[in-house]
């Protein structure tokens, strides 16, 4: 394949790719117990073994076997249906964990991740150190992985698949190392590999020795392209993978639990990983939501809110503690999910300057936002409110209440000073008063009108226009009431507030 090779451009020596191949991923992502497990996949209507763990393999369970045959060999065998979704989740979980090693991570295949690490080598104290850290971390995550380092992503992938603990830093060594690799590591279709083997081609080197034109004609340009990319003759652009900026993690249990202490501990674990997630991005969030899943019935949800973006597990745990006591779980819990709200950049808090700090003075235990958060956590978002004014003549519309979690600064409007006195207590809805010869009656006594009327006739532009005469009335029980008479045909009396 010598003569018509593409012109060698500046090669990829300034890039170094680290490949993580997870050969056991289907098994590791799908297994649910410690017992001997095999993963099955449906092929042409028959469930066949895809992968078996060591214990099952020792009993003779082999990939490709029918599920029944495997069960005959090992009756205690745990069969798990393969879930590509779960594998994808596991892979993405690993990718987000790997983000600590590199800023460029790409999911190359359903079981392959590649990282660009040229820039990270120095930071982590050399390739060996980096590699050791990574293998240690992967072991702790419970994943079996093959690692390889090469100047191109494809070369790294192939070496990892071939099981070579290779570490090639130079382009010059790349060709020689690749040539020795067997065919299967390229993960080409089985038919193609068979055809090549039939021709006596068994290694990557053999492929490269074939004439380029003939290779393209017989097998397609795609595979030649792959070879060129692996050798670094052609650029191999990759998509960078980014962890989603929203945290959503499930904690699944093997059996249903009712122990609240245990559940709280699981929530704590989730909050800690949530904190890690946000810390890596310098973000915080204002809301988190816990879902407690039951085998039967809908999940129980528990939402927590903070007035400011927050990531500290301690703060969330404090809020959770207040709410968790009262949480009613309709049944035992099988899984817990933590979902965070929109992540936002954390605002740094400036410490207060104290010029005249009195020696005896004590700082407030917590700020108003913290107080509001505590109250909201226990009695609910809608129950804690701030109020502000609205420039409006209709008494019902002259104010509004808003949630304390909203940005409450600067919402109060400066309205011109009203001359007429308003009552301090307002009824939620005007209450109809009976009338006695044209005068309103409250609690069995005719009211004496002592001030008024103040005519409010406005709001014609929307559905809720009013036309009322407001009076101050004195009741016999000493209360002063704010009453009005509708100026429509019914002209009935209503009580709207007390002067308190």
Partner 1 sequence: MSSSLDKILANPRVWRGRDQAGRRAGLASGYPELDRHLPGGGWPRESLTEVLTEHYGIGELRLLMPALARLSTETSTQDFTEPGWIAWVAPPFQPYPPALQQCGIDLSRMLIVRPRDDSEILWSAEQALSSGTCAAVLLWPSILDDQASRRLQLAAEKGRSWAIAFRPLAARRQPSAAALRLELHPDGQATRVHILKSRGGRPAVITQLL
Q: Which of 254, 347, 350, 362 binds partner 1 (CB under 8 A)?
A: 362
**Beta-ladder partners of 493:** 433, 485
Residue 378 interacting with partner 1 (CB under 8 A): yes
- Residue number with CB closer to partner 1 (140 or 477): 477
Residue 497 interacting with partner 1 (CB under 8 A): yes
Residue 499 interacting with partner 1 (CB under 8 A): yes
Residue 388 interacting with partner 1 (CB under 8 A): yes
- Residue number with CB closer to partner 1 (85 or 363): 363
Cβ contacts of residue 178 below 8 Å, gap of 6+? 155, 158, 159, 204, 205, 230, 231
Is there a contact between 27 and 39 (Cβ–Cβ < 8 Å)?
Answer: yes
Q: Which of 399, 403, 441, 452 binds partner 1 (CB under 8 A)?
A: 399
**Is the bond preceding 453 in cis, omega lying within 30 degrees of 0?**
yes
Q: Which one of 44-52, 144-152, 294-302, 478-486 is the stretch in contact with partner 1 (CB under 8 A)?
A: 478-486
Q: Which of 108, 307, 404, 466 binds partner 1 (CB under 8 A)?
A: 404
Residue 406 interacting with partner 1 (CB under 8 A): no
Q: Which of 415, 434, 445, 464 binds partner 1 (CB under 8 A)?
A: 415
Residue 375 interacting with partner 1 (CB under 8 A): yes
Distances (CA, A) of 65 to 45, 46, 51, 497: 13, 10, 10, 81
Residue 403 interacting with partner 1 (CB under 8 A): no
- Residue number with CB closer to partner 1 (272 or 386): 386
Residue 374 interacting with partner 1 (CB under 8 A): yes
Residue 426 interacting with partner 1 (CB under 8 A): yes
Residue 84 interacting with partner 1 (CB under 8 A): no
CB of 449 to partner 1, least distance (A): 14
Residue 328 interacting with partner 1 (CB under 8 A): no
C-beta atoms surrounding 325 within 10 Å: 10
The DSSP element (H or E) to which 85 belongs, if any, is helix 84-98
Residue 356 interacting with partner 1 (CB under 8 A): yes
Residue 386 interacting with partner 1 (CB under 8 A): yes
* CA 111 – CA 92 distance, rounded (Å): 10
Angle, alpha carbons 297-302-306 (nearest 5°) = 165
CB of 78 to partner 1, least distance (A): 48
85 CA to centre of own chain: 16
92 CA to centre of own chain: 12
Alpha-helical segments (H) within 283-342: 313-324
CB of 452 to partner 1, least distance (A): 16
The DSSP element (H or E) to which 79 belongs, if any, is strand 78-81
The DSSP element (H or E) to which 108 belongs, if any, is strand 104-109
Q: Which one of 63-71, 158-166, 196-204, 491-499 is the stretch in contact with partner 1 (CB under 8 A)?
A: 491-499
Q: Which one of 90-98, 152-160, 417-425, 463-471 is the stretch in contact with partner 1 (CB under 8 A)?
A: 417-425
- Residue number with CB closer to partner 1 (232 or 497): 497
Residue 421 interacting with partner 1 (CB under 8 A): yes
Q: Is 72 helix (H, G, I), strand (E, B) or coil?
A: helix
| Residue at token pair 């301090």 | 424
- Residue number with CB closer to partner 1 (10 or 356): 356
Q: Which of 29, 36, 372, 473 binds partner 1 (CB under 8 A)?
A: 372
- Residue number with CB closer to partner 1 (295 or 427): 427
C-beta atoms surrounding 135 within 10 Å: 13
Q: How many CA atoms lie within 13 A of 186 on its CB side?
A: 27
CB of 408 to partner 1, least distance (A): 7
* CA 6 – CA 182 distance, rounded (Å): 24
CA-CA-CA-CA torsion for 351, 357, 359, 361, nearest 10 degrees? -70
Q: What's the distance, Cα to Cα, between the start and end of the chain in Å?
A: 98
Q: How many amino acids of this chain bind partner 1 (CB under 8 A)? A: 58
Is there a contact between 313 and 289 (Cβ–Cβ < 8 Å)?
Answer: no
Residue 379 interacting with partner 1 (CB under 8 A): yes
* CA 77 – CA 61 distance, rounded (Å): 9
Summarize as ranges the residues that interact with partner 1 (CB under 8 A).
354-358, 361-368, 370-372, 374-375, 378-380, 383-389, 395, 398-399, 401, 404, 408-409, 411-412, 415, 417-418, 421-428, 474, 477-481, 497-500
């Amino acid at each position: 394949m010598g003569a018509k090779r593409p012109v060698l451009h500046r090669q990829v020596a300034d890039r170094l790719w680290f490949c993580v191949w997870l050969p056991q991923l289907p098994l590791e992502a799908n297994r649910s117990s410690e017992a001997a497990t095999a993963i099955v996949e449906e092929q042409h209507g028959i469930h066949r073994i895809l992968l078996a763990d060591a214990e099952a393999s020792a009993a003779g369970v082999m990939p490709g076997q029918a599920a029944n045959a495997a069960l005959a060999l090992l009756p205690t065998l745990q069969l798990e249906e393969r879930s590509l979704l779960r594998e994808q989740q596991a892979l993405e979980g690993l990718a987000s964990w790997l983000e600590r090693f590199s800023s460029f991570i790409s999911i190359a295949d359903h079981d392959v991740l590649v990282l660009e690490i040229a820039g990270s080598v120095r930071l982590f104290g050399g390739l060996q150190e980096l590699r050791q850290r990574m293998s240690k971390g992967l072991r702790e995550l419970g994943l079996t992985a093959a690692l390889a380092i090469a100047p191109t992503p494809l070369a790294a992938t192939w070496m990892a698949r071939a099981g070579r603990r290779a570490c090639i830093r130079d382009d010059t060594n790349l060709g020689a190392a690749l040539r020795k690799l067997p065919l299967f590591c390229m993960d080409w279709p089985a038919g193609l590999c068979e055809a090549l083997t039939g021709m006596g081609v068994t290694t990557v080197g053999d492929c490269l020795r074939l004439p380029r034109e003939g290779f393209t004609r017989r097998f397609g340009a795609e595979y030649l392209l792959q070879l060129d990319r692996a050798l670094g003759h052609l650029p191999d652009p990759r998509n960078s993978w980014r962890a989603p900026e929203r945290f959503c993690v499930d904690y699944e249990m093997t059996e249903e639990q009712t122990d609240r202490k245990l559940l709280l501990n699981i929530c704590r674990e989730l909050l800690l990983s949530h904190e890690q997630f946000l810390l890596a991005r310098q973000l915080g969030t204002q809301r988190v939501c816990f879902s407690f899943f039951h085998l039967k019935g809908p999940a129980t949800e528990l939402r927590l809110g903070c007035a400011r973006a927050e990531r500290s597990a301690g703060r969330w745990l404090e809020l959770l503690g207040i709410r968790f006591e009262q949480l009613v779980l309709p049944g035992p819990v099988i899984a817990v999910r933590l979902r965070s709200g929109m992540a936002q950049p954390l605002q740094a808090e400036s410490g207060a300057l104290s010029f005249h700090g009195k020696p005896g003075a004590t700082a407030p235990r917590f700020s108003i936002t913290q107080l509001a958060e505590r109250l909201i956590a226990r009695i609910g978002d809608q129950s804690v409110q701030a109020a502000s004014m609205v420039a409006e003549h209709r008494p019902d519309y002259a104010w509004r209440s808003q949630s304390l979690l909203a940005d409450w600064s600067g919402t109060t409007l400066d309205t011109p000073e009203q001359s007429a006195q308003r009552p301090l207590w307002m009824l939620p809805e005007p209450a109809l008063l009976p009338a006695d010869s044209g005068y309103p009656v409250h609690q069995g006594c005719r009211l004496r009108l002592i001030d008024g009327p103040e005519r409010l006739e406005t709001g014609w532009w929307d559905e809720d226009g009013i036309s009322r005469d407001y009076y101050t009335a004195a009741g016999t029980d000493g209360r002063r009431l704010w009453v009005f008479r509708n100026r429509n045909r019914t002209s009935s009396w209503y009580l709207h507030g007390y002067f308190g």
